[in-house]
Amino acid sequence: MQKDAYILILDAIEAGVYKPGDRLVESELAEHLGVSRTPVREALQRLETQGMLTRDGRSLIVASLDHNQLSELYAVRTELEGLAARLAARHATDEEVRVMRRMVADDRALLGGDPRALSRANKRFHRQIHLASHNRFLVQQLDLVHRAMALMATTSFAADGRDAAALDEHDSIVAAIAARDGDAAYASLRAHISNAFETRLRVDAGELKTR
């Protein structure tokens, strides 16, 4: 069974293998992924339609987000993530809450290390909240939002001090979900995303150092 070229390329973008501005060449991708050129061509067309790729002359490159697009993305993410937390407080099973707590505890071992490793752990944590909402349509929309997050060249976890603060915020979110307090879960997650956005803006403005 041939691998899905679309998923393989998308996963590579999300993993940072292909970064914003990188040129994607059909023949090179086909060889690297071990698939034929036809599914690669179809995958590139699909990714271009979704805004993950853009044209630079005749070449396709991984898209990047300008300031306005970044603001729009965070505005949508804030609302959808907050809703997911509110629904998780209502619908999450005790097992799901324990998994989220364990994730936060385990992620503390990553503090001070590779920011991208903590970023991947952060995605897993947020994904668990999405699933705990038990709303398939919300999960689908959040998948699209998080896919677009891959178009940011850096992670806010690279900013000095952001990693520990983010995990403390994760603790607050899980505590609210465990307490079945939908309003608090909503507010905690919105504040968490707002802090991440502010950190990113300060990094882009040169106010914060990154590692």
Is residue 33, in this structure, part of any structural domain at all? yes
Whether residue 109 is found in the same domain as residue 156: yes
Whether residue 134 is found in the same domain as residue 95: yes
Is residue 209, in this structure, part of any structural domain at all? no
Residues in the chain: 211
Grouped pLDDT means (10 residues each) for the chain, 211 residues: 79 86 93 90 93 91 92 96 98 98 95 87 96 98 90 81 94 98 98 95 81 68
Dist. CA 52–CA 13, nearest whole Å: 9
Structure tokens of 63? 């898209």
Q: Token pair 């067309």 is at which residue?
A: 45
Out of 30, 62, 94, a domain closes at 62
Cβ-based neighbour number of residue 122 at 10 Å: 23
* pLDDT digit string, tens, across residues 3-45: 689 989 988 888 788 989 999 999 999 998 888 899 999 999 9
Is residue 210, in this structure, part of any structural domain at all? no
Out of 16, 39, 62, a domain closes at 62
Report yes or no: 166 and 198 within 8 Å, Cβ to Cβ.
Answer: no
Whether residue 152 is found in the same domain as residue 197: yes
**How much is the pTM?**
0.85
Report yes or no: 82 and 174 within 8 Å, Cβ to Cβ.
Answer: no
Q: Give the DSSP H or E segment for 54.
A: strand 53-56
Whether residue 143 is found in the same domain as residue 97: yes
Whether residue 149 is found in the same domain as residue 198: yes
Whether residue 191 is found in the same domain as residue 90: yes
What is the CATH classification number for the domain harbouring 102?
A: 1.20.120.530
Torsions phi, psi of 185, nearest 5? -65, -45
DSSP assigned state of 93: -
